[in-house]
Amino acid sequence: MEWLNRMEKALDYMESNMEEPLNIAQIAKIAYSSPFHFQRMFYMISGMTVAEYVRKRKLTLAAQELAISSSKVIDVAMKYGYKTPESFSKAFRKIHGIPPSEARRSGVSLKAFPRISFQLTISGDRELEYIIDEKDSFMICGKTTTLTCGDEGRTRQDFWGECMRDGTLDEITQDSNRHTILGITCNFDEEFTYMIGKRSEAEHITEHWTSIEIPSATWAVFSCYGTISEAVQKGFHQVYHEWFPATDYQHAGLPEIEMYAQDISKPSGNRTEIWIPVEKK
């Protein structure tokens, strides 16, 4: 499949340029993709950000070089993009559990993260309802935070809990008959911006909230059913694992939107929507 070939070519480029600084724009270009789409697709399928994958591969190669050669630690650190021995040692210890200077010791245990490969798997265990919809520009306002991909750092669940406790969710829904709450993901990378908010006219935006203007765009709107957190998680998984690879669409680089049209405090059995901005490849 063309999509798989493009992703594999991007991986080939990454593997042959491990001694160079990470260039997301160039990598995405090889995959005929926007940087946002490539990074989001990579993360949703592999469970790692591009930067995390490259870091683990570099530290795998660095450990191998230290174990079988007489290269100085500082030279290996510089070769794989670390500006100081301290930063290299910290990253090395986090992955391998030992400082770089011990990598040559006989019997020492080192970890190896092999190159990944992409495969298209269509399970067919559930349907995914969607429509393609054109929308004019609109404003979104709400409370934002910075979250980290993966298991480290603050999570969406933490932020939702905070917004429930501090009255943000009540403030969002007090002027809405539909009780519509939005979750917005933007500026995607290892860290990304996440907002809990609502659609709003410019003149109604509260001063203590952040506002984002969403330009006119084409959206793939997916319906999800069941317990909110589980339904949305499964929805995103299926969109990136199955829907994108099988279509002629790619991510348009605009924020992704989760729409919760029911009472968020009663998460079981609700219908939610995932809005993905798309464009033809």
Same domain, 267 and 135: yes
pLDDT digits (tens, 9 = 90+) for 16-42: 999 999 999 999 999 988 888 899 999
Neighbours of 23 (CB within 10 A): 13
Instruction: Enter the tokens of residue 37.
Output: 């789409």
Q: 20-25, long-range: CB within 8 Å, 24+ apart, which pairs?
A: 20/81, 21/81, 22/50, 22/51, 22/54, 24/50
Band (pLDDT 50/70/90 cuts) for residue 127 is low
Going by the DSSP 8-state scheme, the letter that residue 101 receives in this structure is G
pLDDT on residue 121: 62
Determine what percent of the chain is predicted with pLDDT higher than 70.
Answer: 89
Report, as an integer, the average pLDDT of 181-206: 83
| pLDDT confidence of residue 173 | 81
Give the pLDDT mean for 63-68: 93
Domain membership of residue 47 as a residue range: 2-102
* Token pair of 262 as six digits: 């029911």
Rounded-to-integer distance, Cα 212 and Cα 199, Å: 10
Whether residue 264 has pLDDT greater than 70: no
Q: Do 116 and 46 meet the contact criterion of CB atoms below 8 Å apart?
A: yes
The pLDDT score that the predictor gives to residue 204 is 58
Whether pLDDT at 238 is above 70: yes
Residue whose pair of structure tokens reads 């309802």 in the numeric block:
129
For residue 66, give every residue at least 6 positions away whose Cβ sits within 8 Å of its Cβ, in sequence order, or none: 73, 76, 100, 103, 104
- Examine the domain organization and report whether 11 and 58 are in the same domain: yes
Local confidence band at 125 (pLDDT 50, 70, 90 cut-offs): low
Does 145 share its domain with 262?
Answer: yes
**Does residue 112 form part of some domain?**
no
Q: Residue 115 domain-assigned?
A: no
Position 120 scores a pLDDT of 65
Residue written as tokens 């669409």? 249
| Closest by Cα among 231, 126, 151, 147 to 195 | 147
CB burial of residue 135 (10 Å; 0-12, 13-18, 19+): middle
Query: Tokens at residue 22, please?
Result: 């990470």
Write the CATH number for 93. 1.10.10.60
Contacts of 207 (CB under 8 A, 6+ apart): none
How many C-beta atoms lie closer than 10 Å to residue 148's C-beta?
14
Confidence of residue 203 (pLDDT cuts 50, 70, 90): low
Inside any domain, residue 116: no
Sorting pLDDT into bands at 50, 70 and 90, what band is 245? confident
Residue 238 within any structural domain of the chain: yes
Instruction: Provide the percentage of residues in the chain whose pLDDT is more than 90.
Output: 54
What is the predicted pLDDT for the residue at 275? 96
Task: Name the 3-class secondary structure at 179.
Answer: coil
Is 265 found in the same domain as 142? yes
Q: Which two tokens stand for residue 237?
A: 């998984």
In degrees, rounded to 5, the angle at the alpha carbon of residue 262 between the alpha carbons of residues 200 and 271 is 110
Q: Are residues 159 and 67 in the same domain?
A: no
pLDDT greater at residue 13 or residue 171: 13
Residue 163 parent element (H or E): helix 156-165
- Mean pLDDT to the nearest integer, 132-139: 94
pLDDT at 212 over 70: yes
